Chains A and B, each alone.
Chain A
Amino acid sequence: EPEVTQTPSHQVTQMGQEVILRCVPISNHLYFYWYRQILGQKVEFLVSFYNNEISEKSEIFDDQFSVERPDGSNFTLKIRSTKLEDSAMYFCASSEARQLGGLHFGNGTRLTVT
């Protein structure tokens, strides 16, 4: 069964550094998402992406965050200058249609900011 893949599985970075989290969505999916989960808390929506542009973003997704689909297969989340509170599990997800079949999530990238 096709799956969403995320790399790396764990990223450690120093405060103020830039990080790029990478995702390869399922190939025939058209909608792409990033969610995050701070340890012990619920999963929160960050951003959705369709037709090469952001469809919706949450208040968490400020100017420090950006997303890109550079080559038609990868979908990346960049955090320009990481803060301690950015430490979380980041999930990429994709869907064939707009949420109707349910999102397929990757295994997540655990980001640790020190």
Chain B
Amino acid sequence: AQTVTQSQPEMSVQEAETVTLSCTYDTSESDYYLFWYKQPPSRQMILVIRQEAYKQQNATENRFSVNFQKAAKSFSLKISDSQLGDAAMYFCAYIDSGGSNYKLTFGKGTLLTVNP
């Protein structure tokens, strides 16, 4: 079974600084997708960024970028120029792209605090 591990239960960053959230995963599949979701205090789940495993190029979305290391099964999220609104729980998630697997597997989350 696939597993997703987020080794940092909590992280903090100063406003305007850069922070990196770690995620590792375990799978025997070669084709899959990885996601970062943000959950603010409102508890809504917001898709931040996604990465297809077959793509070598790291995904970017404005201030959010990933460092995808397929061989190491690592998928970290970098937030540049951190803003107060970035404070939230961040979940890393995995899905097989083939077969009949329809479910996302989530990590336990990293709580990010942004200090003014």
Interface residues of A (CB under 8 A from B): 31, 33, 35, 37, 41-45, 48, 50, 55-56, 58, 89, 91, 93, 98-108, 110
Contacting pair A89 B102 (CB below 8 A): no
Beyond A42-B108, A99-B33, A99-B95, is A58–B47 a contact (Cβ under 8 Å)? Answer: no
Instruction: Specify which chain B residues have a CB less than 8 angstroms from the CB of A107 in the assembled complex.
Output: 42-44
B35 within 8 A of A: yes
Contact in complex: A45, B100 (CB < 8 Å): no
Across the interface, A56 reaches (CB within 8 A) one of B91, B100, B106, B109, namely B100
Size band of the interface chain B makes with A? 20 to 34
Mask of B8-46 contacts with A, CB within 8 angstroms, 1/0: 000000000000000000000000010101000011111
User: Which residues of A have CB within 8 Å of B101?
Assistant: 56
Shortest CB–CB separation between residue A95 and chain B, in angstroms? 9
Q: Determine if B44 and A43 form an interchain contact, defined as CB atoms under 8 angstroms apart.
A: no
Tell whether, in the assembled complex, residue B102 and residue A98 are in contact, meaning their CB atoms are under 8 Å apart: yes
Q: Which residue of A lies closest to B52 (CB)?
A: A100
Closest to B105 in A: A45
List CB contacts (< 8 Å) of B71-116 with chain A: 91, 93, 95, 97, 100-109
Task: For the complex formed, measure the closest distance between the CB of A113 and the CB atoms of chain B, giving whole angstroms.
Answer: 18
Distance between A104 CB and nearest chain B CB, rounded to angstroms? 7
When A42-B108, A99-B95 are in contact, do A91 and B45 touch as well, CB less than 8 Å?
yes
Interface centre among B44, B95, B102, B108 (most CB of A within 10 A): B102
State how many angstroms separate the Cβ of B1 from the closest Cβ of chain A. Answer: 11
Tell me the bound Cα distance from A110 to B44 in angstroms: 11
Please report the C-alpha to C-alpha distance between residue A81 and residue B42 in the assembled complex, in whole angstroms.
28
Q: How far is the CA of A75 from the CA of B102 in the complex (A)?
A: 17
Q: Complex Cα distance A87/B107, Å?
A: 20
A-B contact pairs, 20 of them (CB 8 A): A37-B43, A42-B107, A42-B109, A43-B91, A45-B103, A50-B102, A56-B103, A91-B45, A93-B45, A99-B95, A99-B102, A101-B50, A102-B33, A102-B50, A103-B47, A104-B47, A105-B44, A105-B45, A105-B47, A108-B45
